[in-house]
Structure 1
């Protein structure tokens, strides 16, 4: 009887748990459906409505429907995830909209992404100001990225009890050598070039001299550019700005006023009154604003119909042997997209938007070959975002033109192999042992369960050298440079977009819009539509895929999420393709 009751109650409990789980999943799905249906609503706004620009969430390259997850439900971040493309598109729309007199830029909690994501937004705001409309910015706590974006405003206000960062840039790299030692995992490395530091986190406890040199040079180039642009906007000498950073002189809101970094100290409520005055409203009248998310549903001016198109292919994320999706470059998604654009007679030019730290050398080479085929039939240009490093540079080096943001991290022309020896980890830590039968002496080559022999290391070194030579040769051919010249600036070294232009790795500085305009000029077309590839996947497919994902890191705090993210990327590198062409691991900029 005890056994009967035990299984009976277990069955009842299991049934109840299943019903509850089904109800929860149905609730998530219903909320997703509501969010998706809501996107078709058309919004109209009245005259003198201010566009309120908040950038509190990281911006992907383009908008897509956000799959539901626990974190999304808690934060109400469901439905369409706004991308960089729609931010810029709607700032341009607001410039031509007679109902929008100006933009209010909220500088609190700006988390849009790196400097290379902020740069095209800032440039769009500068173009907006050319219409004679105003931009007003305010923050309670203004970060360096927020200030760089807000420096274009006609007036910048800081809360009287607020704070502001102005201290210069620094970069952090995470190292796992001691972690691997504790786990009894040996990282076996084969590489080319003294700057190919992607493997350093696994074999060192700190940066090598070469890595420190390239990272400092990159940050210096980036910081000098940012100060130059702030100087132009705020009419403050660059040397004075540099001194403010170096001596940490901005210690209070009063210091921000003293050094003319902001225009006045105001609480948000007082800024709202100021905005009312700019739109001709009395103090007792309500200030009319519209959020970016809502303004996206306002119809813009229609353009004349044309069948001519420029294809924009988004190549985003690590390069691996998967199919690929919105956040990864796989063996199918980008290749199919290039072929589709190449074979479409209405597509007159192709622009590939690259935001990738690299990855599989093999997949990189296959995509490079597709670019070569496509550019024989129509102009093929490349626009660089945050990263276009190693494999990210490889896939695009043959393009007709390469345009990078000044702060893009690019180059890293190098190759390496990273083979973990996990035998002791399984034996000593998990108590798992292995035995094997082989038909040949090296049948278990790079199995990851033993140390490589000297001969096997020589074999891998030859493979790495061969792929590096091919990489450099492709760059030399694509950029019309001598092999020795590319080899000299290669060896895995990273460069900023500014530096890359000086040494010939890119042609122009600018964003995606500039690249599209150049593509139109090369195609000799004035009126065209922009079509995006690969097509965004069906929201339902993304939703159910997300339900199967590990949600553990979504329910922890931000700092723990950051640690998990570092470990996740480390594991991806360890389990990735045998030979890789990718960025010097992970550089966190602050």
Structure 2
């Protein structure tokens, strides 16, 4: 649906055209016509909609080559808003035009409206005027626009149409023309027109020439140096002009970045991109006031730096980095791609965990504080068993379980690890160990033997020992890192942040075609309908993307330990419907298991990372009840009952914590019914996986049973399709959408980011790794797990064990 402003501008233009066709041809205009201003200022206010950065332009027209000033203009613009001053005439008849404009652009259409007023000795011949216009750019080869202007002090009107053609679809050659007709022209064929050409043989170097209907000709050159540009044009007036036939137009641009030969063809890689990873790394971050690093921004900066010819390397300040294993490996993969472009990576460390060793393997030079250390004791996955504690406290716990490996309730009903749980934990802990060791060995920094020695050396390995084993190259403090960079680069270097990268600042006018739109949905957190991942809202987001014909494909990023069956199916059904309409690709993060797999399985293609933990196809359930805790707290309950099992959901409310436990355990009949429902949901899960993945049900049963698989194992069993990062999945979804190589891509993301993050009071008091936002709270793993299991007491769940959530999320958390 078009916005009211869009409809208003279009209606205004239509009314202007209709009014122009009926205007008296002898009427005085009351404003400066387009033919007299085209060399100094654009007429169409819709041009304001294309402004991307604050910009200032100064232009002066002089007599001859270096004569006295005839006219001048000053234009200041920010995205969507513009203000210009045009001064013309001699002292006794000087006129100053003031114009305010506003514009907004969409994918192929920009519209704008402007208001003009006049000041000065000669302003009596002019009055206020209103203009509106639009520009349409539907392809790389053509751009068309129209501007209508009407005098508010009289009956003067003007309409201007313009057309630009790029035969090659690039700025190399642009052919331009315009036609202006106002109320002083005798008929439709007596308007003023001009035709011209612009050639841009090198980025930012532009040659232009034009011929006007009055016989005037012009030729000019413009050279951009990035955020400053200058131009010169010489004009030869037509035979009807009574003034000096020769004039010059000098121009200066300041502010907005323009492509330039100095940052492309003549660029020298003398800059290092500086990235900071001082702590936990989230998936997306929040909208405002968020200084913490997130994966998507880091990856985008690394990708853009590889394309920036002025950047020779990256300095990664990871002084307290806690990215988590999976995110560290993804970050290292992109650093290696950056190095493959012939550039270097310098890593700085102070204190770090084992996940930072992935970054070490992807760095050309590791620079470490001499008093720093890396905590590398190895990998350990344990479980705290609460059965004895709960029994002693007077809380009963029962488990509903059919699958061998679905161990989510073991922590509540056992006092030691089951054989099946020990088997699967040994598998993925071994995979994490082997993965890190192989990455370091392949990087050439260490041998398998020395890696084992360092693991067994001490829990924290000091910097000097790491240097002895080749994991660190030099020691020093970060303020001295420039000395290291200059030594590596062999000369003077400067550091820049992501905001200074050339690809991030280059204007998009080199391609007129509307970008292809790809939807990206972030499914992060526990799979719950109205909290955690909030699948009810996510389903609506996905539904909107399916119904939006401009979105050509959808990528879903899944990072989740699972949750409720209802919430899982709410989102999975929308994934399935969307996949029937357009390509849907899933990119799994470090953990996408149980309910996290349920919401993924209907995608056309599933990407898992090498360290992804997925699968856990199974259903668990349990029942907590009051088995004496109320008596020990001297609590008494009484009530009235209708229904045989009504008292199951009534019991004593524990003071302070607000926890209400059922007053009794399950009867045999009730227990059998819960078990039957759990089995039915499990069979349904199996059948859905078989259908979604085109597998035999018996085969699915063999690889299900609640078993957790690593990414490569899941690929072997047919649960995922490819091993790759989020970027690999994004490249695949663009290809699946049929986007032509070289066409720009716009990512339409959802859900909306939280506004900003504020500290949780518990974090200030107890140092807990938690944060919350105005729209979403992200509690720690234990709080989340207990909240879900107790709130859904007796209901079947599709979740991984709590300890796996805690082990995986340590240092990264399920955060946006």
| Band the TM-score falls in, shorter-chain normalisation | 0.7 to 0.9
Bigger mean CA deviation after superposition, 264-273 or 206-215: 264-273
Alpha-carbon separation, structure 1, partners of 2:518 and 2:600: 17
The answer as to 2:523 corresponding to 1:315 is yes
Structure 1 vs Structure 2 CA RMSD: 3.2
Corresponding residue to 1:245 among 428, 434, 455: 455
Residue by residue over 1:28-76, the C-alpha shift from the partner in whole angstroms, topping out at 9 and shown as x without a partner, is xxxxxxxxxxxx9x9989983422222123222223226xxxxxxxxxx
- Confirm or deny that 1:86 pairs with 2:86: no
Deviation at 1:536?
Answer: 1.3
The match for 1:107 among 318, 321, 334 is 318
**Distance in 2 (alpha carbons) for counterparts of 1:341 and 1:486:** 31
Give the CA deviation at 1:452: 0.7
Report the equivalent of 2:203.
none
The answer to whether the Cα contact below 8 Å between 1:320 and 1:576 also exists between their aligned partners in 2 is: no
Whether 1:535 and 2:751 are equivalent positions in the alignment is yes
Aligned to 2:66: none
From 514, 538, 549, the counterpart of 1:334: 538
Note the C-alpha offset of 1:140. Answer: 2.9
**What CA distance in whole angstroms lies between the structure 2 residues aligned with 1:295 and 1:451?**
63
State yes or no: 1:51 paired with 2:273.
yes
Alpha-carbon displacement from aligned partner over 1:150-179 (angstroms, at most 9, x marks no partner): 221111133334333444322233333344
Q: How far 1:83 sits from its partner (Å)? A: 2.5
The answer as to 2:568 corresponding to 1:568 is: no
Report which stretch shifted further, 407-416 or 423-432. 423-432
Matched residues, number: 522
Instruction: Provide the rounded CA distance (Å) in 1 between the counterparts of 2:616 and 2:627.
Output: 32
- Where 1:163 maps in the other structure, the secondary structure is strand
Could you tell me how far apart the structure 2 residues matched to 1:206 and 1:409 are? 23
Q: Give the match's secondary structure for 2:505.
A: coil
Whether 1:553 and 2:769 are equivalent positions in the alignment is no
Name the CA distance, whole Å, in 2 between partners of 1:241 and 1:341: 48
Check whether the contact 1:108–1:146 (CA below 8 A) recurs between aligned residues: no
Work out whether residues 353 and 374 of structure 2, in 8 Å CA contact, stay in contact via their aligned partners in 1.
Answer: yes
TM-score, with structure 1 as normaliser: 0.80
Aligned to 2:799: 582
- Structure 2: how far apart are the matches of 1:88 and 1:533? 16
Task: Please give the per-residue CA displacement for 1:540-590, whole angstroms capped at 9, x wherever unaligned.
Answer: xx67xx79xxx441222436979x935413421332432110112232158
Match of 1:22 in 2: none
Residue from 673, 684, 689 that aligns with 1:475: 689
Q: CA–CA distance in 1 between the matches of 2:580 and 2:306?
A: 38
Match of 2:406 in 1: 196
Match of 2:561 among 357, 368, 384: 357
- Determine which structure has the larger helix proportion and give its number: 1
Classify the secondary structure of the residue corresponding to 1:234.
coil
The residue that corresponds to 1:223 in the other structure is 433
Measured at CA, do residues 306 and 264 of structure 1 come closer, stay the same or move farther in structure 2, by a change above 3 Å? same
Higher strand share: 2
Secondary structure of the residue aligned to 1:329 is coil
d(CA) in 2 for partners of 1:247, 1:81? 33
Contact map agreement 1:412 1:584 (CA 8 A) in 2: no
Partner of 1:209: 419
1:64-213 residue pairs with structure 2 within 5 A? Answer: 64-65=286-287, 78-79=289-290, 82-112=293-323, 114-213=324-423
Cα 1:370/1:293, change in 2 over 3 Å: same
Specify the SS of the correspondent of 1:318. coil
Task: Report 1:521-532 matches (<5 A).
Answer: 521-526=735-740, 527-532=743-748
2:495 to 289, 309, 315: 289
Is 2:522–2:751's contact at 8 Å kept on the other side of the alignment? no
Aligned mates of 1:186, 1:344 — CA distance in 2: 51
State how far apart, in whole Å, the 1-side matches of 2:357 and 2:525 are: 28
- Within 1, Cα distance between the matches of 2:380 and 2:635? 42
1:184/1:583 Cα in 2 relative to 1: closer, same or farther (>3 Å)? same
Specify whether residues 288 and 342 from structure 1 end up closer, same or farther in structure 2 by C-alpha distance, changes over 3 A only: same
Structure whose CA Rg is larger: 2
2:286, 2:754 within 8 Å by CA — same for their partners in 1? Answer: no
Q: 2:408·2:801 contact (CA, 8 Å) conserved in 1?
A: yes
Matches of 1:331 and 1:143, distance apart in 2: 33
Q: Does the residue aligned with 2:415 lie in a helix, a strand or coil?
A: coil
Where 1:64 maps in the other structure, the secondary structure is coil
Is 1:299 paired with 2:505?
yes
- Normalised TM-score (structure 2): 0.59
Tell me, yes or no, if the aligned pair for 2:562 and 2:800 is still in contact at 8 Å.
Answer: yes
Paired residues of 1:250 and 1:256 also in contact (CA < 8 A): no
Partner residue in 2 for 1:503: 717
Residue of structure 2 aligned with 1:420, choices 624, 627, 636: 624
CA distance in 2: counterparts of 1:240 and 1:281, whole angstroms: 35
1:513 is the counterpart of 2:727: yes
Per the TM alignment, residue 190 of structure 1 is displaced from its structure 2 partner at its CA by 0.8
Alignment of 1:437-476 (within 5 A): 437-438=641-642, 440-445=643-648, 448-476=662-690
Worse-matched range after superposition: 166-175 or 451-460 = 166-175
- Structure 2: state its 5+ residue gaps: 1-79, 81-254, 258-262, 651-661, 772-778, 811-816
Q: How far did residue 442 of structure 1 move?
A: 2.5
| 1:128 shift after superposition | 1.3
CA contact (8 A) 1:221 1:498 kept: no
Distance in 2 (alpha carbons) for counterparts of 1:383 and 1:119: 15
Q: Contact 2:320–2:350 at 8 Å: present in 1 too?
A: no
